[in-house]
Structure 1
Amino acid sequence: MASLGALTRLIGAGWTLVRNDAFLPREMDGFYSPAVRGLANTLRLFASRKDGRPGERLARSLQGLGPVAIKLGQFLSTRADIFGRTFAEDMGHLKDRLPPFPLKDARAAIAQELGRPVEDVFPTLGEAVAAASLAQAHEASLFDGRRVAVKVLRPGIERQVAADSAVLALAARLMERWAPPLRRLEPVRFAATVIRATELELDLRLEAAGADELAEVMAKDGYMATPKVVWPGVGKRVLTMEWAQGLPLSEDAALEQPGLDRKALADNLTRAFLAQALDHGVFHADLHEGNLFVAAPAKLFAVDFGIIGRLGPAERRYLAEILWGFLNRDYQRVAQVHFDAGYVPARHSVEAFAQALRAVGEPVFGRQADAVAMSRVLTQLFEITALYDMHLRPELVLLQKTMVTVEGVARRIDPAHDIWAAAAPVVRRWIARELSPISRVKQLAGDAETALRNLARMTQPQPAVAVEPERPGRLLWFALGALASGAAFLAGMLLR
């Protein structure tokens, strides 16, 4: 029955797009094949609301399809360089300008979550100042005079997300079965990643913890900051934080503030994201304009930590080396890292893949960002990844999605933003620290210590578990070899 319900909702979603002429919009007729154009003309007979631009019609459709669809619209709205400024602006109201739910419902939720009357916590609590797909924010005050923002989940949002997730999972299964060219995008695993991330957003206690963790991370570089969490005002469906400085980037007035340095602001955004991901392995994974506040000259404040991305040491190293290779136009190294990481199957040629990367990278270098058609670059990259059988990596979905979003937002701040120049200081610092001779010695020493610990465990008596006689000897040789290699490397460095 659950699958039948999901199928019904999926058909309903398609019908909503058809009725708004948002499925195969008429403005794109020139790009369709004859067969697709015929299908589009047929479906258009059932369109009852054809008014508005393509972005307006799509936004209207997505708004009625639930929180998961709205999040897709939020992502599209950040890429004016791909879809056009007008389209992005039409989709922009999906970020934080959705219809709010009544204040009385918010007050009831707050009282229930915190176990006290609202007046005992907040002397004042106003109407919603921003409303998004999962929650809305209210301006309030504390008894000590601090101005705060109180985030409250929408009533019944858990059921709606569960229903939307079932539809997304079904759509992914259908894509994987009936659309072979799309299988390398791993639609089922991708959907599972998105669903899991959305489910975690429904517990605001986790968001409070993520905000607190990232506040510590951000303070180490200063590229970005976040308001403090007010822990007495935190519950599963309620989150209280100090009021963010500046103006929300989703408002046009934000970029018109006197004394604002747009270039520095865009650089700070790119560097903040990369520093979080590379240096600390944890990053804000929902950096659209509705979640960013700006103040002169180049201060950047992030809110809404419902989606947190994490990278392990191996992924951080691969990311840094790929970025470093592109910065130095070392396509051979970039290609080799892709093979080492397993992103490209070993049956392909490293040299041929490097050649393909050069075809993408060289036309971009030396040109201002506003002169680069990102839609063409992405199309070329997609074609190359298909040619080399590269599959989507679900563990990197949040990273890739956030990188695309950050670049889009940075270009809106500064149309001439050079993401490579902005990234260089952070990547260079990581390379110098993590790939230096001293770092390599430490890594070898750590490997040796781990091997010795494993040896110690293996040589201890293990009741009821048979141990192969040769294994301790193998581990010992591995440990001694690692120690010898580390010592030789260190000696070589000291003798230079």
Structure 2
Amino acid sequence: MIGHLRNLTRLITIARVLARHDALFPLERLGVAKPAVWIAKAASRRNVPGRPGEKLAAAFGELGPSFIKLGQALSTRADLMGEEVAADLSNLQDSLPPFPFEDVRRTVETELDRPLESAFSVFDPVPVAAASIAQVHFAITAPDAEGHTREVAVKVLRPGVEEAFRRDIDLLFWLSRLVEFAQPQWRRLRPVENARAFEESVVIEMDLRFEAAAACELAENFADDPTFRVPAIDWQRTGRRIMTQERVRGLRIDEPDKLIAAGLDPRVLVGNAANAFFSMVFRDGFFHADLHPGNMFVDAEGVLVAVDFGIMGRIDRQTRRYLGEMLLGFLTGNYRRAAEVHFEAGWVPADKSVEGFTQACRSIAEPIMGRPLNEISVARLLGQLFQVTETFDMQAQPQLLLLQKSMLVTEGVGRTLAPDVNMWELSRPLIESWMADNLGPQARLADGMKTLSDSVGRLPRLLESAENLLGGMDKGGFRLHPETVKALRGNRGPLSGVITVAPWLIAIVLGVLLFLKES
């Protein structure tokens, strides 16, 4: 009861801020906690100029760190918020006034368990960036045993930010459960599951060791790529609330005039960016999900350098194959295959019409694919596809929504650098190579054999469970004919060899049939 009252009180406060900005429409659309919405309307003025998304972004900015992050998460949900509102939320500035240097010093010394001056010979007290969760300072490390120092960037969490997020995430879960209970039509969007995904992403962002680990993993994935790199992490000066990494010097990727003046070719940079992003998603299944222009630089040698690894996405191998087949179907005009993949992946319920979904796919793709090559947006194709979810009860796929948003941002960067170029066309050789390696017969055979191997690996557990079941047959309950029981227990007789070998034969036959079906 106390929790309900606390959440309701907090909701009324939030609703009043939304009402001041004339941005109550999300709560009105949810149709829950109507008394809180009514009180907010009565107590606050309305009729604020601007688009709904702009008003909501302004309200989230006033509500602070939790809601800035929530707004950025909702910017990936065009299916939920509408394309215009989602686009406005994507422009939500993740910036707040800096917090005092005394708090920075306290955090650094607590996390490193030593005086700041013993870790850094120079530490600029003025931050170069102050966001909702943390701020960044430039520094120079203290000399090591050989007298060497390094220029670094130090990221420090805001004081009290964890407590603020915890309070608002509790409210988000409370609202999500209310929505699922009171509005059954919203359940296909899985509000509670999406709240949990948001919580997990925030928890990771709140522990800077996780961000440092993500940077290291991405660096390993691109260790042999001369066109893309990740700043080195200084683990000796990294903890839960502080992360130290190599300082990046270079130009922002969205400054084409400066890049050209530096002797760099924007077309080459666009191609390198497309190849890097495609490799992250399809080769590795681990991608930077916040590659806006402020997080991508170009060094003096023309190498792309990414920063800020708090938001990362993962896609498993099977989903990558589904996604690859779906995109291949769209790009080749095979809309039937693009539709079938959605059913095979379980994204669309089996009781829906494949023909109807094929028609929907065609209606989305034809206007886009019929445009000049440089105007084709794969990200917009995915975004419009997700908008038909309600008609076909397609369940929300958070990882694909995050991917679509990331692709949209990456395409935006590409168009800024070279407006007449389609970045995915530049990476076409890489895409075709990946598809040949992963969607061809040999890849299907390899996947079929892996499935077979996994099935065989589970056989001992299945047989053990069967033995336990058979061991209890004589005690009543589930009964079989005595001769059947003898055979299953492995008693000598004509059936014993067949029973022993049968599971292996079945597994092999299923594996072969699966391969022949897919081929």
Return the TM-score normalized by structure 1. Answer: 0.80
Of stretches 60-69 and 338-347 in structure 1, the one that deviates more from structure 2 is: 60-69
Q: Which moved more, 1:126-135 or 1:293-302?
A: 293-302
1:361 deviates by 0.6
Q: Spell out the pairing of 1:425-464 with structure 2 (5 A cutoff).
A: 425-455=429-459
Q: Residues 9-24 of structure 1 correspond to what in structure 2 (within 5 A)?
A: 9-23=10-24
Select 2:113's aligned residue among 108, 111, 115: 115
Q: Does 1:271 align with 2:270?
A: no
Aligned to 1:292: 296
Which residue in 2 is equivalent to 1:31? none
Q: CA deviation at 1:173?
A: 2.9
Match for 1:353: what amino acid? F
Q: Measured at CA, do residues 229 and 432 of structure 1 come closer, stay the same or move farther in structure 2, by a change above 3 Å?
A: same
* Bigger Cα Rg: 2
Question: Structure 2 vs 1, CA of residues 378 and 276 (structure 1 numbering), >3 Å: closer, same or farther?
Answer: closer
Q: Is the 8 A contact 1:284 1:309 kept in 2?
A: yes
Cα-to-partner distance string for 1:161-199 (whole Å, 9 max, x where unaligned): 101212222332343344454332222211111111111
Tell me which residue corresponds to 2:506: 478
Could you say if the C-alpha distance between residues 180 and 403 of structure 1 is closer, same or farther in structure 2, counting changes exceeding 3 Å? farther
1:338–1:344 contact (8 Å) kept in structure 2: yes
- One-letter amino acid matched to 2:371: R
Residue segments in structure 2 that go unaligned for 5+ positions in a row: 27-36, 78-82, 472-487, 490-497
Q: Tell me how far apart the structure 1 counterparts of residues 395 and 444 of structure 2 sit (CA, whole Å).
A: 31
- TM-superposition CA deviations, 1:359-410 (whole Å, max 9, x none): 1111111424886799997885355222111110245454344334434444
Relative to structure 1, the CA distance from residue 251 to residue 9 in structure 2 (aligned partners, 3 Å threshold; closer, same or farther) is farther
The 5 Å alignment of 1:81-160 reads 83=84, 91=91, 94-95=93-94, 97-126=95-124, 127-142=126-141, 143=143, 144-160=148-164
The letter for the 1-side match of 2:17 is T
Corresponding residue for residue 5 of structure 2: 4
Q: Could you say which residue in structure 2 is the equivalent of 1:28?
A: none
The residue identity in structure 1 corresponding to 2:14 is A
Correspondence 1:262-411 to 2 at 5 A: 262-295=266-299, 299-368=303-372, 381-394=385-398, 396-411=400-415
8 Å contact from structure 1 (residues 125, 140) kept in 2: yes
Task: Describe the shift of the 1:2–1:270 C-alpha distance in structure 2 as closer, same or farther (beyond 3 A).
Answer: farther
Between 1:43-52 and 1:412-421, the stretch displaced more is 43-52
Partner in structure 2 of residue 225 of structure 1: 229
CA distance in 2, matches of 1:460, 1:375: 48
CA distance in 1, matches of 2:444, 2:394: 30
**What is the total number of aligned residue pairs between the two structures?**
471
Paired AA for residue 98 in structure 1:
L
Superposed CA deviations along residues 67-89 of structure 1, whole A, max 9, x for unmatched, are 2321244468899xx65999689
Residue of structure 2 in register with 1:61 after alignment: 59
SS in 1 for 2:162: helix
Rounded to whole Å, the distance in 1 between the matches of 2:433 and 2:268 is 19
Q: Residue type of the partner of 2:139?
A: A
Q: Distance in 1 between matches of 2:505 and 2:269?
A: 53
Q: CA deviation at 1:353?
A: 1.2
1:418 matched residue in structure 2: 422
Shift of 1:111: 0.8
Cα separation, 2, equivalents of 1:451 and 1:323: 30
Displacement of 1:134: 0.8
Higher relative contact order (CA 8 A, sep 6+): 1
> Which residues in structure 2 correspond to 1:31-50 (within 5 Å)?
46-47=44-45, 50=48
With 122-131 and 277-286 compared, the bigger mean Cα shift is at: 277-286
The answer to whether residue 236 in structure 2 is matched with residue 237 in structure 1 is: no
CA contact (8 A) 1:200 1:306 kept: yes
Deviation at 1:221, TM superposition (A): 4.2
Equivalent position SS for 1:387: coil
Letter in 2 for 1:108: R
| TM-fit CA distance, 1:13 | 1.9
The structure-2 alpha-carbon separation of the partners of 1:78 and 1:451, relative to structure 1 and needing over 3 Å to count, comes to closer
Q: Partner residue of 2:208?
A: 204
More displaced, 261-270 or 1-10? 261-270
C-alpha distance 484-310 of structure 1, shift in aligned 2 (>3 A): closer
- Post-superposition offset of 1:465: 7.1
In 2, the alpha carbon distance for the partners of 1:86 and 1:253 equals 26
Instruction: Assess, with a 3 A threshold, how the Cα gap between structure 1 residues 384 and 398 changes in structure 2: closer, same or farther.
Output: closer
Structure 1 letter corresponding to 2:130 = A
Whether contact under 8 Å (1:153, 1:202) holds in the other structure is yes
Q: CA, structure 1 residues 485+338, in 2 after alignment: closer, same or farther (shift >3 Å)? A: closer
CA distance in 2, matches of 1:113, 1:45: 44
Q: Deviations over 1:339-375 (max 9, x none)?
A: 1001111112222211211111111114248867999
CA spacing shift, 1:376–1:145, aligned 2, 3 Å: closer
Maintained 8 Å contact 1:78/1:408: no
In the TM superposition, residue 451 of structure 1 has moved relative to its aligned partner by: 4.5
Instruction: Mark the CA change 1:192 to 1:58 in structure 2 (over 3 Å): closer, same or farther.
Output: same
Give structure 1 stretches of 5+ with no counterpart: 26-38
Deviation string, structure 1 residues 194-213 (Cα, Å, up to 9, x no partner): 11111111111111111101
Corresponding residue SS for 1:123: strand
Partner-residue secondary structure (3-state), 1:320: helix
Structure 1 residue 215 corresponds to structure 2 residue 219: yes
Task: Spell out, residue by residue over 1:26-70, the C-alpha distance to the aligned partner (whole angstroms, 9 max, x if none).
Answer: xxxxxxxxxxxxx99x95993389588877754442222132321
Aligned equivalents of 1:306 and 1:63: distance in 2?
19
The 1:298/1:72 distance shift into structure 2, 3 A limit, reads farther
Moved more, 333-342 or 169-178: 169-178
